[in-house]
Amino acid sequence: MNAYVPPRVWTWDKENGGTFATINRPTAGATHEKELPVGQHPLQLYSLGTPNGQKVTIMLEELLALGFSDAEYDAWKINIGDGDQFSSGFVSINPNSKIPALVDHSGTTPFRIFESGAILMHLAEKFGVFVPTAPAARAECLSWLFWQMGAAPFLGGGFGHFYAYAPEPMEYPINRYAMEVKRQLDVLDQRLAVTPWLAGDEYSLADIATFPWHGKLVIGNAYDAQEFLDVERYTHVARWAREIDARPAVQRGLRVNRDPGESGLGVPERHSAADFD
């Protein structure tokens, strides 16, 4: 087998193979005209039930469980396999064409928020929950929140891609990213050995953001890689993840827009707290 020699200037002349190859491209912007629907509730979420999308629906369900009626939302499914994220309407609220994206209609002028971390921060500050106000505690919470934002691409786009979605198994990238994911799990395991939640004694944004990725990796079946990564050894992560998974709001959040096989742009899946009563 001949070793790959990169050209002097890379050009896109063919699909790279593997899952999602048909929607990957080296340019940004809309590929087709299609406006986004708008429902009746203060918050309009355009997303999919992937880990990044679940961060936001878990947060919204936690807010509803606390009685915040202004956190009622419509969840419009963006089927990334069909390229919904490249519609003109979606690109207008997220020029990066990635889910999730949110439009806040609660004031006189609607505005967009894109990137899961920014959405979580917006909601936490809007409702005054899940992020501490004391400087040291807030710093700890935000440190773990942004740790997750930096860590997830190595888990999903790195390990997950090469282990589960690439055209063929490749030893070097799988080893490289498996090593990094196990290091991340060890970071979490050591932290959770000495504190119940990532930011300390209180459940926070840091836990909400990290659970759909690392938590579900350990107690779920992400990428069918649990045996390969020997996740059973991370006992403190497993304890933490099971406690989060048992929360009713989390279970509701995990169910929203979770089927990537159906496009839901015509009907919002989720309306308000009453829908799950």
266 falls within a domain: no
The domain that holds 166 is classified in CATH as 1.20.1050.10
**pLDDT band at 277; cut points 50, 70, 90:** very low
109 falls within a domain: no
144 falls within a domain: yes
Summarize the confidence of residues 54-69 as an average pLDDT.
98
pLDDT at 263: 42
- Percent of the chain predicted with pLDDT > 90: 85
pLDDT at 3: 85
Span of 9-13, 71-75, 90-94, 211-215 with lowest mean pLDDT: 9-13
26 falls within a domain: no
Summarize the confidence of residues 8-21 as an average pLDDT.
81
* More confidently predicted of 236 and 81: 236
258 falls within a domain: no
Question: In the chain, how many domains are there?
Answer: 1
C-beta pairs of 202-205 under 8 Å, 24+ apart in sequence: 202/132, 202/137, 203/130, 203/244, 204/130, 204/131, 204/132, 204/141, 204/144, 204/145, 205/59, 205/120, 205/121, 205/124, 205/130, 205/131, 205/141, 205/142, 205/145
Summarize the confidence of residues 88-103 as an average pLDDT.
98
Per the structure, the complete domain to which residue 189 belongs is given by 135-253
Q: How far is CA 1 from the centre of its chain?
A: 38
The residue behind tokens 């990137």 is: 115
C-beta pairs of 150-154 under 8 Å, 24+ apart in sequence: 151/184, 151/213, 151/214, 152/51, 152/52, 152/213, 154/180, 154/181, 154/184
Summarize the confidence of residues 68-77 as an average pLDDT.
96
Q: Is the pLDDT of residue 267 over 80?
A: no
Summarize the confidence of residues 99-114 as an average pLDDT.
97
**How would you classify the pairing of strands 43-47 and 73-77?**
parallel
- Say which DSSP state 81 is in: G
pLDDT at 78: 96
* More confidently predicted of 125 and 3: 125
| pTM, 2 dp | 0.93
- Percent of the chain predicted with pLDDT > 70: 93
* CA separation, residue 99 to residues 56, 155, 259 (Å): 10, 17, 14
22 falls within a domain: no
183 falls within a domain: yes
Q: How far is CA 217 from the centre of its chain?
A: 13
pLDDT at 270: 56
**pLDDT band at 268; cut points 50, 70, 90:** low
* More confidently predicted of 18 and 244: 244
71 falls within a domain: no
Summarize the confidence of residues 157-183 as an average pLDDT.
96
Identify which of 249, 248, 246, 270 has the alpha carbon closest to the alpha carbon of residue 258.
Answer: 270
Q: Please say whether the beta carbons of 264 and 81 come within 8 A.
A: no
Q: What is the mean pLDDT of the chain?
A: 92
